[in-house]
Amino acid sequence: MAEKSTIQWTDNTVNFWRGCQKVSPGCKYCYMYRNQSYHGIDPKKITRSSDTTFYQALKWKEPKRVFTNSLSDFFLVEADEWRNDAWKVIESTPQHEWQILTKRPELVMDRLPKNWGEGWDQVILGVSVENQDYFYRAHELSLIPASRKFLSIEPLIGPINILTKIEGSRPIDAIDWVIIGGESGNDFGDYRYRKCEIEWIEKIIEDLKAEAPHVKVFVKQLGTYQAKQLKLKDRHAGEINEWPTKLGHIKIREFADSILTGIS
């Protein structure tokens, strides 16, 4: 049995491969770079995981939310030789909800399995969006066929108009789930943190509730900046019971609707 993930919005993680290249400002203080460097591992080197890790989900009988890849990007060009085997694992485990997140939506269409069709029921496909400049990723995601879709707005490092129209349509209308989180990090050194204002989180939630109520919202953490401002014990500000009463309106942890048995 694999250990339960510490990521609040998933049950377990499966890293079919590890290592990544930074592609945008959200990557600047990447937790994977921090953790891998701490263990003496080159975070830029893309390596396939052991068979034990690669195929572990095949042994899990009970339905789980499974996040892949927390230590890489599922659609990296460098992982092309392993991806078909990863798709086979995902296809063979329809009892799980596979949460596939990327910062490279432009690479997705050419790397979907041949029998993908309009999407597999067990896959919810997502993109990361850190500020307004990268909201175009939501538009690119909206054009990809998928059973369900989500945005990971983490780290949130600038205000976002979640209702933005691109090419005449609102990407949010094609999205089922939005995760929001401030950045965590250190005050000094190579892996710091940037400001995340409560107002930015509030605006996203208010806009969704008013104009896109079909979207489920999950506020994962407020980030280190707010942890210090609010004098919280958890430096990530991810312990929701610690948040002051005045922030009750953003204590929201909803999951996307699932059509899988046992996932709610």
For residue range 9-25, what is the model confidence (pLDDT) as tens digits? 999 999 999 999 999 99
Instruction: State the average pLDDT over residues 155-175.
Output: 98
Within 8 A by CB and 6+ apart from 226, the residues are 182, 196, 198, 232, 237
Asked if pLDDT for residue 2 goes beyond 70, the answer is no
Rounded distance between C-alpha atoms, residue 227 and residue 234, angstroms: 7
For residue range 129-153, what is the model confidence (pLDDT) as tens digits? 999 999 999 999 999 999 999 999 9
Instruction: State the average pLDDT over residues 238-244.
Output: 97
Within 8 A by CB and 6+ apart from 256, the residues are 124, 148, 150, 176, 177, 216
For residue range 55-64, what is the model confidence (pLDDT) as tens digits? 999 999 999 9
Structure tokens at 7: 């990521």
Could you tell me what percent of the chain has a pLDDT over 90? 94
- Contact criterion met (CB below 8 Å) for 164 and 151: no
- CB-CB neighbours of 4 under 10 Å: 11
Instruction: State the average pLDDT over residues 202-218.
Output: 98
Predicted local confidence at residue 263, as pLDDT? 77
- CB-CB neighbours of 244 under 10 Å: 9
Asked if pLDDT for residue 4 goes beyond 80, the answer is no
- CB-CB neighbours of 114 under 10 Å: 7
Predicted local confidence at residue 177, as pLDDT? 98
Task: Read off the pLDDT band of 3 (50, 70, 90).
Answer: low
Task: Read off the pLDDT band of 220 (50, 70, 90).
Answer: very high
Rounded distance between C-alpha atoms, residue 253 and residue 264, angstroms: 13
Rounded distance between C-alpha atoms, residue 225 and residue 30, angstroms: 16
Q: Supply the mean pLDDT for the chain.
A: 96
Query: At 166, phi and psi to the nearest 5?
Result: -130, 125
Paired with 150 in beta bridges are: 126, 177
DSSP string, 135-194: THHHHHHHTS--SEEEEEE-S--S---TT--BTTB-GGGG--EEEEE----BSSSSSB--
Task: Read off the pLDDT band of 1 (50, 70, 90).
Answer: very low
Cα(first)–Cα(last) distance of the chain, in Å?
A: 21
Asked if pLDDT for residue 261 goes beyond 90, the answer is no
Asked if pLDDT for residue 49 goes beyond 80, the answer is yes
Asked if pLDDT for residue 32 goes beyond 70, the answer is yes
